[in-house]
Amino acid sequence: MIAAAPSVKAPKRQLAAAGTGLQMQPEVNGAPYWRSLKDGKETGSDYCHGSNYAWTLRLGDMEACTPRAGSGLGDSLSIRDFATGTAEALPAQPNRTWLPAVSATQALTTEKRADGTLALHLLGRSNEPRKDVLVSTSEQIDGQVSVKQTDAQGALLRYQGPGGVRLGLVDYASATMRALPLPAQANDLGDVPAGLGRQWTAVFAGKDKISLVPRTGTAAPRTITAVGTHGYLHQTGDWVLNGRGGLSAAELVAYPLAGGTARTVLPALAADPVAGTDGNLYAIGGPDRYHWGIHRISLNAHGIPVAEELEPLPSQPVQRYGPTLTHGELTVRQIDDFEHSTHAYRASVSGPMTVSAAPAWSCSIMHDLICSHPSYDVGWATGDGRLVSATPGIQSNCLDTACNSDFLVQEARPGGVRRTFPLSTPATGPLRMAEVKAASGRYAVIWAIATVNRQARGFVVDIDAGKVLDVNVDATGVFSLWGSLLWRPDGDTGVVAATDVRTNQVVKRVDLRTGCRAGELQVAGDWFYTWCSRNASTYTYSAFHTPTGKAFPLPFADTERSEAQLGDGYVVNRTRDGLYVYNLRSGAVVREHAAYLSTYWKQWTVDRFGGGVAYIDDKDAQDEIHLVGVTGKTSPLTVIDQSIPATVTAKSTTSGNTRWWLSKPAASWKLTVRNTTSGITSVIRSGGEARGLIDVAWDGTDQSGKRLYGGVHEWTLTVQSADGGAALKSTGTLTFANAGSAARPAPQRP
């Protein structure tokens, strides 16, 4: 299991209000609750939550709400106090509309006058003898009244007045409203940042300026400098606190009323703070964006605002998707807010399954080709330590020549090479909007649109040579690539044929015994998976084992045929209920493992090179990666592709580049050559663990550095399987050129 790293995203928990307790939501659409700051007691909100309510106000320990028209819940104002446990309902009044502004004794409403303008009224609660008080104001309210902020003293309103947007400050005690000064660009801003404090109301006054208007009395407004982008504003003591910065870099800053240097109170801020009934601010934030908590912001003994953590909060995990698994090498795509990256982990290939907790390699969207790929695709793993992809892809919005695709290659290891080459053929011209459909070793299959005839079809790509090969790909898109063999349906009776892409010749045929043409085809060594239809409504799903000639009918539903992947002797099926592993290695179909998956993203994969299954638990385990082994014996170790030079030239650094691609991981290997003239056998190179590829650079010397004699040599590669299976022995011939003769050299003259 690989736990997800913490994300810079803010915690899902939201803070709505603060009194003697905190009103919170576990997540955006979660059920709200109140928790006492004194004893930690929690009380859930059994109303004022959901889409049936026009608005919900949470202030201190109180929640208030009014039903939406047509909800069937009436039109009264419901009020509840969590601290005391009391609740009441205020009946609606004719021609009145509730506003989300409620004090301990009154509730604010609008009344539509005969001339179309609005008046404000304070309606008394059960403990208030004055049941209807007209709010006195010289302002004309034309409509669109909204409450920007409210507290126990009054409310800050935004409304439409003569000339455009206006701000008004309602004082509950005097039942009055007065207009607040606005910057010249108020109508362009739409929503002017403003906030309530104990003594002052803070209003955005233009670039880097904040106006302070006294809440009571006749003192003149004052203006202070506050550099930055302003959101939430709140005055406390001799400071104005401001939630400043973008969503991914917000911080809480305090500006002194007397001028001077601003202070950062919380370097990381999840959302706008809330004003507590105790005069303090409460906010979710932290010292950085990886350490979050609920904080109380109060004035210390020197009158300076400081943050005190009341409770730590767990960080959200990074979001993961698009895993690939080959030869125990796991790569996964990761999203952390706006940052996309790819990470590679190493799983054990022998003994109990373990995996590295830290990635062995990572790349960032800012630097690497694969990481900057625009689609939600981690790139195809080739099985020899590389990731490949193409851009622009089929989902691109490109036009004309901007659609010409490049092939991207990334070695998924520290210091790995990144390269790109254009996709084009003489017959088709540049290939456009290409998408990788399969990859194995040095070959890949893409689906792309030809420039010449604008036909979309499949093409085989030689990754090492950087070119498109002249190999036919099934027009229906049914194929599977295994090493250098491209498998396709051959007729309509269940036979499939393998084309060696190196020669473009059919070299093998297998009857899968389905009796119908494959609608899907997957290959993993000696194993095949397919589904096909004998009529328009009946589908059959099966696996086939070539050495035994045995077919395995699979219990899959029709709608699930595209959600299966073949491993070495097993098939994994994704259904609406989860992920199921069907083990075939014993000769019978055995459902061996099940796991829940909650999304439709690509959250799982199989290692068809002798490995197991990897999936991301994005429901309960917060994007943990799980690796699951499959019991039973794997297929024998084989060479699935090789590149052997006919001649190796002494002292040449490139002529002896020799590679073997393997069907599963190796524990160790040794390469020897025997001179066919002298019979002398030499060890050329040897090595330990190899995952997918054995790559040897020959220069005409043996492992000790001794120069070999020229002539024809028989090479032998011996490989020990990492899982303890039978060893692999592969042989062939090559010639050493520009080296000494194999005959014994003549003695030097005295």
Q: How far apart are CA 673 and CA 670, in angstroms?
A: 10
Whether 98 and 115 have beta carbons less than 8 Å apart is answered as no
N-terminal to C-terminal alpha carbon distance within the chain: 73
Cross-sheet strand order for the sheet of 263-266 = 230-236, 239-244, 251-256, 263-266
Q: How far apart are CA 666 and CA 350, in angstroms?
A: 10
Place of tokens 């005097």: 174
Q: What pLDDT, on a 0 to 100 scale, did the predictor assign at position 749?
A: 47
Instruction: Give the DSSP H or E segment for 54.
Output: strand 53-59
Helical ranges in 548-605 per DSSP H: none
- Report residues of the chain scoring pLDDT below 70: 28-29, 185-190, 227-231, 246-248, 366-378, 558-562, 598-601, 619-621, 651-653, 738-750
Token pair of 437 as six digits = 């459909």
Which candidate, 79, 170, 84, 93, places its Cα nearest to that of 126? Answer: 79
CATH domain 639-737 topology? Immunoglobulin-like (2.60.40)
- As a dihedral over the C-alpha atoms of residue 286, residue 292, residue 294, residue 300, rounded to 10 degrees, the angle is -20
For residue 672, what are the contacts with CB-CB under 8 A and spacing of at least 6? 681, 682, 683, 684, 715, 716, 718
DSSP 314: P
pTM to 2 decimals?
0.81
Pairing mode, strands 728-737 and 711-721: antiparallel
One-letter identity of residue 663 = S
One-letter identity of residue 243 = G
Q: What pLDDT, on a 0 to 100 scale, did the predictor assign at position 209?
A: 83
Q: How far is CA 144 from CA 77, 116, 257, in A?
A: 20, 12, 33
Q: How far apart are CA 470 and CA 449, in angstroms?
A: 15
Token pair of 649 as six digits = 């030239």
Cβ atoms < 10 Å from Cβ of 80: 21
Q: What pLDDT, on a 0 to 100 scale, did the predictor assign at position 364?
A: 83
Whether cis (ω within 30° of 0) applies to the bond prior to 665 is no
Residue ranges per domain, the chain? 485-600, 639-737
Q: Can you list the positions of beta strands (E) in 365-474?
A: 380-381, 386-391, 406-411, 418-422, 424-425, 429-440, 443-450, 456-462, 467-469
Token pair of 739 as six digits = 């080296």
Pairing mode, strands 647-649 and 728-737: parallel
Q: How far apart are CA 147 and CA 172, in angstroms?
A: 14
Whether 441 and 433 have beta carbons less than 8 Å apart is answered as no
Q: How far is CA 274 from CA 221, 297, 699, in A?
A: 24, 10, 72
Which candidate, 108, 51, 58, places its Cα nearest to that of 275? Answer: 58
Q: How far apart are CA 691 and CA 310, in angstroms?
A: 50
Token pair of 562 as six digits = 């595209």
Q: How far apart are CA 372 and CA 366, in angstroms?
A: 7
Whether 252 and 271 have beta carbons less than 8 Å apart is answered as no
For residue 434, what are the contacts with CB-CB under 8 A and spacing of at least 6? 390, 393, 394, 405, 407, 423, 446, 447, 448
If phi > 0 it is left, if psi is from -120 to 50 it is alpha, else beta; for residue 515 that is left
